[in-house]
């Protein structure tokens, strides 16, 4: 049994899978669209819809906010839950529209305040807020999504790990740069697609004999 700290887990994933380079920051509106459409959906379902939005709008926020609600719903129809997601997307566009779609005033905020403002947007929960922080604003935040929580459980954490608990433990035991935070989330999710459907599947992975060290396990 090999024991890992958070950095060791990152290195294991990175060495095995290589850089993922998800969601370049310069295409931030694509990140907004993708992070909302992926809610309660799979990448297989959502990726073609994101591509469609890109083709028809160029991810131009002025074009997107100029669409009627019906047009927005039709544009994202195939992503499922399209009425709710259209409302969330419009709320997000209106949030950034308050700043004339200029990220600089928001980028100047401390992470806690920025996260508070993002979380106040209709339809934006913990995970989506942290995706924005990591992939748009370059903050070294940990995104404790379902794959992350399942992985922490399989590495020795308790079964019912909350988003807040996992995020706190990881961030208290890591010193990731913003680029590493981006990669860590992408690596875990790509690993999750292959090995985190259930414990039996996890046991076919190269992490099957790994566990967190006692220092970290005592914090879960």
Q: Within this chain, do residues 132 and 32 fall inside the same structural domain, yes or no?
A: yes
Radius of gyration of the chain from its Cα atoms, rounded to whole angstroms: 18
**How far from the centroid of its chain's Cα atoms is residue 22's Cα?**
10
Residue 86, in any domain of the structure: yes
Q: How far apart are CA 151 and CA 4, in angstroms?
A: 13
Q: Within this chain, do residues 55 and 111 fall inside the same structural domain, yes or no?
A: yes
Which residues have C-beta within 8 Å of that of residue 75, sequence separation ≥ 6? Answer: 52, 53, 56, 57, 67
Task: Quote the DSSP letter at residue 77.
Answer: G
Q: Within this chain, do residues 16 and 37 fall inside the same structural domain, yes or no?
A: no
Q: Within this chain, do residues 64 and 131 fall inside the same structural domain, yes or no?
A: yes
pTM of structure: 0.93
What is the pLDDT of the chain when averaged over all its residues? 94
Domain boundary among 79, 113, 137: 137
Domain boundary among 90, 122, 137: 137
Residue 25 has pLDDT above 60, yes or no: no
Q: Within this chain, do residues 14 and 88 fall inside the same structural domain, yes or no?
A: no
Q: What is the CATH number of the domain that holds 126?
A: 1.10.340.30
Residue 130, in any domain of the structure: yes
Mean pLDDT, to the nearest integer, of 37-60? 93
Domain boundary among 97, 115, 137: 137
Mean pLDDT, to the nearest integer, of 78-87? 96
59: left (phi over 0), alpha (psi -120 to 50) or beta: left
Q: Within this chain, do residues 51 and 32 fall inside the same structural domain, yes or no?
A: yes
pLDDT tens by residue, 91-146: 999 999 999 999 999 999 999 999 999 999 999 999 999 999 999 999 999 999 99
Residue 1, in any domain of the structure: no
């Amino acid at each position: 049994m090999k024991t890992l700290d958070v950095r060791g887990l990152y290195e294991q994933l990175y060495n095995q899978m290589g850089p993922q380079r998800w969601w370049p920051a310069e295409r931030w509106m694509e990140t907004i669209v993708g992070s909302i459409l992926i809610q309660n959906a799979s990448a297989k379902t959502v990726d073609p819809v994101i591509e469609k939005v890109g083709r028809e709008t160029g991810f131009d926020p002025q074009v997107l906010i100029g669409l009627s609600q019906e047009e927005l719903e039709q544009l994202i129809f195939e992503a499922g839950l399209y009425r709710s997601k259209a409302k969330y997307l419009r709320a997000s566009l209106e949030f950034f529209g308050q700043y004339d779609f200029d990220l600089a005033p928001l980028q100047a905020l401390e992470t806690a305040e920025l996260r508070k403002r993002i979380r106040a947007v209709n339809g934006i929960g913990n995970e989506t807020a942290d995706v924005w922080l990591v992939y748009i604003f370059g903050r070294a935040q940990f995104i404790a999504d379902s794959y992350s929580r399942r992985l922490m459980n399989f590495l020795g954490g308790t079964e019912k790990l909350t988003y807040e608990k996992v995020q706190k433990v990881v961030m208290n035991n890591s010193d990731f740069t913003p680029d590493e935070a981006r990669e860590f989330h992408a690596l875990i999710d790509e690993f999750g697609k292959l090995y985190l459907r259930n414990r039996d599947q996890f046991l076919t992975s190269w992490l099957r004999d790994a566990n967190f060290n006692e220092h970290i396990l005592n914090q879960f």
